[in-house]
Amino acid sequence: MPQTTINEILNKFDIRDADIKRIRGAAPVLKRELDAFIADFYTWMAQHREYQTFFASNPSRLDRVKQLQRVNWNTFLEADLNQAWFDARKHVGAVHAHIDLPNDIYFAGMAVSTNLMADRLRKAKGEVKDLDDTISSLTKLMYLDAFVVIEEIARINREKLSAGAKALMEMSTPVTPIWEGILLLPLLGILDSQRTQDVMNKTLSKIAETRAKVFVMDISGVSSMDTAVANQLLKITKATQLMGCETILSGLSPAIARTLVELGVNIGEVRTTATLRDSFELALRAVGVDRKLIATG
Amino acid sequence: MSVPGTTSVTGTRVRGCLVVTVSQDLSGDMLDEVRRVALEGIQRDGAQSAIFELSAVPFMDSMEFGELRKIARMAEMLGAKVIFVGLKPGIIVHLLEADADVRGVHAFLGLDEALHAIDSSPSPDAHG
C-alpha cells in the first residue's frame, strides 16, 4: 500500500499528527496495564458462546491468542501508522476470515476493548494530559484498526465467492468427448447470456482440441426457453458449423418445441431430436460408425 | 502447380482442388488479391473445388467475411465448390456476435478434413 493511500485513509478517519502524539503519550500507561486489560477482555469473552467454540477445547490456543493480542496492542499503541502496521491488521483479518469469526463478536470485542482502555486512562487521570481528547484519538484509531481487519475479511470472502462462481461455471458446461469425433454437452438449469457465451467458447475450443465432427447439445435439463436463449443456441450451432462440426440439438420437449414455434424462432437446418438416444445414433452415423454396430449395440 | 501471386496469398493445386492460402489479415488490397488468385486459378486449371485456407488470418470483421463469401459465390459461378478452412474460434465468435450471415458456408477445421470431404463427395459428372 503506497504512502499516499495510507495518508488518504488517515485523512478519511480524521487521524492527525496530534492524535498520534496523544496515543503515544498514553501508551506507557496502557502498556503497563496490558496483562490486566487482556485478562478483563477474556473475562468478558468467556460469557459468550464464541469463547466455547474457539477456546473451550483448546487452552493452548487461548494462550497463543493472548500472546498475539499482546503483540497486536503493543504495535497499536506505538501508532507507527506505516505499511507494517496495516499489514499486521490485515493479517488479523486473514486469521479471522480463516476461522470464520462472526462479525458481531469481533465488533463487540473492539467496543469492549475501547471501553476497557478508556477506563484505564480515566483511572490514571494524573498521568494522562488532555484525557477526553486522548480517548477520542484512541477511538479513532480503534475504528481504523477495525476497518482494516474487516476490509481484509471482506476481500478474502470476495475472492472465495469469485473462485466458487468460476468453479460452478466450469462445472456447468462439461463439454465431453463421448466417441471418436463426437462431443456431448448436457445443459442443465437456467441459460443466461453469460452462460451461453461460456458454452460457445468452451465448445469451440473443445472442437479445435478434439477435431470433433459432431456436437450433441442436450437441452432436456434446461428449465426455460425464450427467444433470446433460442437465438443464442442457434448461434452456437452456426459457430460449430464454421469449424466443420455439425450440431445436433437433443432433448427437445414438446413444451419447448411448442414455445419455439409460437415465438416464431426459425431453427433452420439444425437437426433436432426428442431424445439423447436418437441424437447419439445420428452422431454415430455421421462419424461413420457401422450401421450393424449401432443396431447390435 | 502454383498460381503466381504475392507472398501473402498463394494458390496451390492439390488433387484437382485449388487451395488459396491467406497468410495475413484481409485489410487493404488483400481481398482483391484473394479474388484474383482464386478466380484466375479456378479458370486456368478448371478446378472443381477451392479451399480458402484461413488458419493464419489473425482477425476478420463481418465486412471482410462478407467480401470473402462474395468471392466464394463468384468461384461457385465458375463451377468450383468452395470450402473455408481454419477459421479461429475467436473470429467465429466475433462474426456471430456481429450477426454475419453464415448460412450455407461449408467449413472445416483443417485442410486434411476438407480434402477428405472433397474426395468423398460425388463429382458433378456423377449427377449428369
Q: What is the ipTM of this complex?
A: 0.72
Centre a 10 Å sphere on the Cβ of residue B11 and count the other Cβ atoms it contains.
25
B109 to A244: CB separation less than 8 angstroms, yes or no: yes
Domain boundaries, chain A: 3-168, 176-296
Give the highest mean pLDDT range of A54-58, A81-85, A269-273: A81-85
> B96 and A205: CB-CB below 8 Å?
no
pLDDT surpassing 70 at residue A97: yes
- Residue A297, pLDDT above cutoff 70: no
- Is the pLDDT at A273 greater than 60? The verdict is yes
The rounded distance, in Å, linking the Cα atoms of B50 and B73 is 11
Homologous superfamily of A3-168? Globins (1.10.490.10)
Residue of A217, A221, A214, A182 lying closest to A199 (CA atoms): A217
* Confidence band, pLDDT 50/70/90 cuts, at residue B5: very low
Per-residue pLDDT at B22 exceeds 60: yes
> Taking CB atoms and an 8 Å cut-off, how many pairs form between chains A and B?
46
Contact, B26 vs B20, CB < 8 A?
Answer: no
Q: What residue in B sits closest to A202 (Cα-Cα)?
A: B89
What is the tens place of the pLDDT at every residue in A20-66? 999 999 999 999 989 999 999 999 999 998 888 888 888 888 888 98
pLDDT for the residue A291 = 61
Residue among A200, A208, A244 minimizing CB distance to B107: A244
Whether A239 and chain B come into contact, CB under 8 Å, resolves to yes
Would you call A205 an interface residue with chain B, using a CB distance cutoff of 8 Å? yes
CATH code for the structural domain at A176-296? 3.30.750.24
Confidence of residue A191 (pLDDT cuts 50, 70, 90): confident
What average pLDDT score do residues B74-100 get? Answer: 91
Q: What residues in B contact A238, CB-CB < 8 Å?
A: 96, 102
Whether residues B109 and A241 touch (CB distance < 8 A) is answered with no
Judged by a CB distance cut-off of 8 A, whether residue A244 touches chain B is: yes
Does residue A73 have a pLDDT over 90?
yes
Interface residue B110 vs chain A (CB under 8 A): yes
Q: Tell if the CB–CB gap between A244 and B96 is shorter than 8 Å.
A: no
B87 reaches A (C-beta below 8 A): yes
What's residue B122's pLDDT? 63
Cα–Cα distance for residue pair B92/B97, rounded to 1 Å: 9
pLDDT at B79: 86
DSSP assignment letter at B26:
S
Residue window 206-235, chain A: list those with CB within 8 Å of chain B.
207-208, 211, 235
Could you identify the residue written with the cell 467458447?
A201
Section A7-14 average pLDDT: 93
Contact A219, A256 (CB under 8 A): yes
Percent of chain B with pLDDT over 70: 89
Backbone angles phi, psi at A185, to 5 degrees: -130, 105
Hey, is the C-beta of B89 within 8 angstroms of any chain A C-beta?
yes
State chain A's mean pLDDT as an integer. Answer: 88
Judge whether residue B110 has pLDDT over 80. yes
Would the pLDDT of A287 be above 50? Answer: yes
- All three cell numbers of A206, joined, read 473443445
Residue B1 pLDDT exceeds 50: no
Between A59-78 and A34-45, two packed helices, what is the crossing angle to 10 degrees?
130
pLDDT tens for each residue of A233-255? 888 999 999 999 999 999 888 77
Q: Does B113 contact A207 at a Cβ distance shorter than 8 Å?
A: no
B54 in contact with A, Cβ within 8 Å: no
What is the mean pLDDT of the segment spanning A139-163? Answer: 93
Domains of chain B: 2-112 (3.30.750.24)
The pLDDT value given to residue A189: 82
* Alpha carbon separation from A158 to A40, A100, A107, A153 (Å, rounded): 34, 14, 20, 9
Reported as a pLDDT band with limits 50, 70 and 90, residue A296 is low
- pLDDT at residue A12 above 90? yes
Q: Is the pLDDT of residue A220 over 70?
A: yes
Residue B126 has pLDDT above 50, yes or no: no
Best A234, A237, A243 member to test B by mutation, with max B CBs in 10 Å, is: A243
Determine, for residues B95 and A208 on separate chains, whether the beta-carbon distance falls below 8 Å: no
